[in-house]
Amino acid sequence: MKKLKNQLLLFAFSGILILGLASCASYRLEKKLSPEDSEWLSEVRYIITPEERKIFLEMPESERKQFKEDFWKRRDPDPDTEVNEFKVEYYKRIEQANRLFQGEGRPGWLTDRGRIYILFGPPTERQTFPMEARGYCREVWYYGSFPVIFVDENCSGNYVLSAINLEHLQDLNLAQNYFQRDAITQEKTFFDYDLKVSKVERSSEAVKFLVTLSMSYDEIWFEVKDNASLEAMIYLKLELKNKAGQLVWQGEKSFALAFKDEDELKRQEVNKFKGDFEVLIPISETNPLPPGIYLLYSSVKQKTEGKEIKKVREIKL
């Protein structure tokens, strides 16, 4: 439980800032979700990262159950126990928010007060102000010395989060140790990558195609050497399976990156890292590889960062 309480702050505010910024493409993909997947994505809206959301929307429906399990595992403060304290606490706060913040025409956890309650927990102090001279009602929640202000312009019970004044950010930093007891954040790093499949060629002897891995340089963890140079290694693993789930091919490739200093890396950051992997799969009696839709499983791991990110996508061969 102590480790869970230490999991707590920066993501709360990043979650507040990114809500509602989904692209049109993401919206179209979200409309295609099953009711179960759509409900789950809605439930985790406050803690899912943009990278995780993108991966979830783009993957085949058959793979989403495993994604959900991995999603909670990444946030489990004590994987050695059967109970995922983070998951339990998150859903507990949703229930509490529904009970505490009724009467705004929507479930309490979807209100502004409910969102802050879920991300930060109960405030250390809560001040309520009935209709003031300016004609609106107000609530101020304090977490340590940091105030969170909600305004109800018509005193109708609909409280909206007021814009956070930047002058309070210093107070937030000073109160960080206090916040860490009760807010919900994501402890473990999560990066993203893209795979592009192109130049698909088929002959009587083999199927050949090109896989291009791309990543933003700011998501790559570089090791600083004694001479101030920067180095990184990215490992890509691929598995190709048919619709029945049978493995028809697997392979891996590593990409070494090196820059003489940080300035050289910064000049390159306007672009994305791209690495090519040419795949050649022989056709045989035991592996006929008929034309159709296949599942390409991929995983990317960085030498310095250590965590492995997995994806799956459909490709036509």
Structural domain contains residue 249: yes
Kindly state whether residues 59 and 169 are assigned to the same domain.
Answer: yes
Segments of the chain scoring below 70 in pLDDT: 1-27, 132-134, 163-190, 305-306
Structural domain contains residue 145: no
pLDDT at residue number 26:
66
Kindly state whether residues 99 and 218 are assigned to the same domain.
Answer: no
Neighbours of 314 (CB within 10 A): 13
Structural domain contains residue 135: no
Helix H or strand E segment including 211: strand 206-216
Kindly state whether residues 112 and 199 are assigned to the same domain.
Answer: no
Q: What number of CA atoms fall less than 13 Å from residue 157's CA on the CB side?
A: 8
DSSP annotation of 113 reads: H
pLDDT at residue number 189:
53
Kindly state whether residues 228 and 273 are assigned to the same domain.
Answer: yes
Query: ∠ CA 128-134-135 to the nearest 5 degrees?
Result: 70
Structural domain contains residue 184: no
Please say whether the beta carbons of 215 and 153 come within 8 A: no
Q: What is the CATH number of the domain that holds 310?
A: 2.60.40.10
How many Å apart are CA 189 and CA 237, to the nearest integer?
A: 20
Kindly state whether residues 51 and 21 are assigned to the same domain.
Answer: yes
Structural domain contains residue 149: no
Kindly state whether residues 217 and 97 are assigned to the same domain.
Answer: no
The residue out of 147, 179, 211 marking a domain boundary is: 179
Please say whether the beta carbons of 199 and 260 come within 8 A: no
Structural domain contains residue 158: no
- For residue 6, the enclosing domain spans 2-122+165-179
Helix H or strand E segment including 233: strand 230-241
Write phi, then psi, for 223 (nearest 5 degrees).
-95, 130
Please say whether the beta carbons of 298 and 236 come within 8 A: yes
Kindly state whether residues 172 and 256 are assigned to the same domain.
Answer: no
How many Å apart are CA 299 and CA 137, to the nearest integer?
A: 52
Kindly state whether residues 44 and 170 are assigned to the same domain.
Answer: yes
Structural domain contains residue 311: yes
Kindly state whether residues 169 and 223 are assigned to the same domain.
Answer: no
pLDDT at residue number 14:
43
Kindly state whether residues 204 and 308 are assigned to the same domain.
Answer: yes
How many Å apart are CA 147 and CA 151, to the nearest integer?
A: 13
pLDDT at residue number 218:
81
Write phi, then psi, for 247 (nearest 5 degrees).
-75, 125
Overall number of domains in the chain: 2
Please say whether the beta carbons of 67 and 37 come within 8 A: no
* DSSP character string of 118-184: HHH-S-SEEEEE-S-TTS-EEEEEEETTEEEEEEETTSSS--EEPPPPGGGHHHHHHTHHHHTTT--
Q: Which strand ranges, in their side-by-side order, compose the sheet holding 206-216?
A: 194-202, 206-216, 272-282
pLDDT at residue number 23:
52
Kindly state whether residues 220 and 303 are assigned to the same domain.
Answer: yes
The residue out of 130, 151, 179 marking a domain boundary is: 179
Kindly state whether residues 90 and 210 are assigned to the same domain.
Answer: no
How many Å apart are CA 219 and CA 51, to the nearest integer?
A: 11
Q: Which residue type, as a one-letter code, is found at position 22?
A: A
